[in-house]
Amino acid sequence: MAAPTRPFPAPPPLGEGPGLHLPARRRRPARRVSLLRSAALVAGKDLRIEARSRVTTSQVLPFAGIVLLLAAFAIDPSRAALAGVAPGMFWTAVLLAAVLAAGRSAALEVAGGTGDGLRLSWLDPGGVFLGKVAAIFAQLLVLEAALLAGLIAVYDFHVAHPLLLLASAVAATAGISAVGVLYGAVAAALRTRETLLPLLALPVLTPEALGGTQAWTAAQQADLGDGLRWLQLLTLFGCVLLSAGVAAYGALLEEE
Amino acid sequence: MMTARIGRAVLPATAVLSLAVLAWLALGATPPDAVQGDAQRLMYLHVPVAWLAYLAYGVTALASLLYLVPRTRNRRWDLLAGASAEVGVVFTALTIVDGSLWARPVWGVWWTWDARLVTTAVLLFLYLGYLALRRVPGPADRRARRSAVVALIAFADVPVVHLSVIWWRTLHQQPTVLNPELDPQIHGIMAFTLLWGVLAFTLLYAVLLRHRYRLARAEAEQEERVLQLALMTPPATRPAAAAPEPVR
């Protein structure tokens, strides 16, 4: 009597099937474009695309503006109350805008096969990461400058320490850009990227939201000691995120 | 064979038994707290579950690291990381819920902006995002790689979140009357019960992790089987099982 036939063939042990074989690491070519040169090239590319498409200035910036306006509706619109919450509202608006900008920056590499071009190029993956961070960073700084003008005009925001304000904005924005680019690459090729990217990026950015808000409150109230402490935290966290991105971006770039 | 029997029968039985002993210890053997009364008994649930959530995330981070290192890369590490994170999310949610239930009679509020509470809430969202990422369909090795990167960043993020929240709550506001500190003078039967709780929930974690991991492996093997079948069968006779995944 014949043995009963199985509906499915027996599976191979885990890790030995055809789909589970992971490709061996390719040897990196000897002639590779240096980190900084790669960063400059990619940043130039992204900024040129922005200069021609104006997506950040014509879409993301107005969005951040309406967030500031809506926040004022939610709070007592007497000017005294608004000035107190102005830093928090500012950084909330920046974070929401940064998620949009990061999604846009990642989408640039999905459409038109740009990502494949980058992967096949001799550019350093860490450099590609830094270049994309630099491009978002520059766009976000412009956005923040415009929002700050709105903050001063509408929220009655006074700046006692402009240098502290600037330094903490630079440090926080560097960290926000790094997370945006890294998680943008994680979510880029996925069908649910629009909904997944905010859920992934915003919890990681809790320290940036808190630190930025507290440093700006200190800059508003001329509390230099407090502000410098938050600036240190923002700088440290920004450096950690940038190095993590340089280390991890190669693995994410190779994959799709 | 022996290890399989321990995993299948002995481990769950020991976990159930030790949880039963914990219930007796926490509800019967220990005296009520001098200040908080019976509400304090929630500690024997709350503290072990919170510790186990941290342990679960530690296991996820370690497994993710082992997956990313080329020498130790194996699909099993990825499945283990996902399984542990899922148990961790359940334990974190339980920590927040039973902490709320405890806070209501003792502090008078369901929630307070204490550093540890805020950190735990952020932790929950970090790993909800991680689990959402894992659910996105796609080739297994790509999913594993990007999940591992996200798990490591989430794990590294937690101390910074905690530090920033501590500064936030202490720089601008003196500690409130709602002191979240437990009485540190804990000893005798209460300390033993707490230790027993950690042991019991560690066993429960091991049982849940083992089941979730085995389920994940079975799913992976099934995917593999369907794929192979699709490759071996001519298109005309291909069974419905090889149909493409539904679009999400």
pLDDT tens digits, residue range A178-235? 999 999 998 887 878 888 999 999 999 999 999 999 999 999 888 888 889 999 999 9
**Into how many domains does chain A fold?**
1
Residue B243 DSSP class: S
Whether A57 is in a domain gets the answer: yes
Q: How confident is the model at residue B223 (pLDDT cuts 50, 70, 90)?
A: confident
From chain A, which residues contact B within 8 Å (Cβ)? Answer: 8-9, 11-12, 14-15, 17-20, 22, 25, 182-183, 186-187, 189-192, 196, 199-200, 202-204, 206-207, 210-211, 214, 226, 229-230, 233, 237, 240, 244, 248, 251-252, 255-256
What is the pLDDT, as a whole number, of residue A256?
47
So where are chain B's domains?
41-175+185-233
3-state helix, strand, coil in chain A (%, to 5): 75, 0, 25
As given in the structure block, the two tokens for residue B212 are 């979730």
pLDDT tens digits, residue range A67-79? 988 888 888 767 7
Sort B95 into a burial class: Cβ within 10 Å, 0-12 / 13-18 / 19+.
buried
Mean pLDDT of A153-171: 91
Whether A10 is in a domain gets the answer: no
Q: How many CA atoms lie within 13 A of B162 on its CB side?
A: 9
CA atoms of A170 and A239, how far apart (whole Å):
12
Best B92, B213, B224 residue to mutate vs chain A (most A CBs within 10 Å): B224
What is the pLDDT, as a whole number, of residue B173?
46
> Which residues sit opposite B37 in a β-bridge?
B33
CB contact under 8 Å between B149 and A186, yes or no, is yes
Whether A20 is in a domain gets the answer: no
Percent of chain B past pLDDT 70, that is, above it, reads 86
Give the A:B interface size as CB pairs under 8 Å. 127
Question: Shortest CB distance from B154 goes to which of A204, A214, A256?
Answer: A204
B119 close to B161: Cβ distance less than 8 angstroms? yes
Residue of B nearest to A191 (CA): B248
| Phi, psi angle pair for B37, to nearest 5° | 70, -145
Q: In the predicted model, is pLDDT for residue B245 greater than 70?
A: no
What is the pLDDT, as a whole number, of residue A1?
44
Lowest-confidence pick of B36-40, B153-157, B229-233: B36-40
CA atoms of A93 and A69, how far apart (whole Å):
10
- Contacts for B58-62: CB closer than 8 Å, 24+ residues apart: B58/B155, B59/B84, B59/B209, B60/B84, B60/B85, B60/B88, B60/B127, B60/B130, B60/B151, B60/B155, B61/B151, B61/B152, B61/B155
CA atoms of A20 and B74, how far apart (whole Å):
9
**pTM of the full structure:** 0.82
pLDDT higher at A184 or B109: A184
Closest among A70, A96, A86 to A152, alpha carbons compared = A86
Percent of chain A past pLDDT 70, that is, above it, reads 86
CA atoms of B55 and A59, how far apart (whole Å):
43
What is the pLDDT, as a whole number, of residue A127?
92
Whether A25 is in a domain gets the answer: no
Q: How confident is the model at residue B175 (pLDDT cuts 50, 70, 90)?
A: very low
Mean pLDDT of B98-119: 84
Helix ranges restricted to H, B108-187: 115-135, 140-171
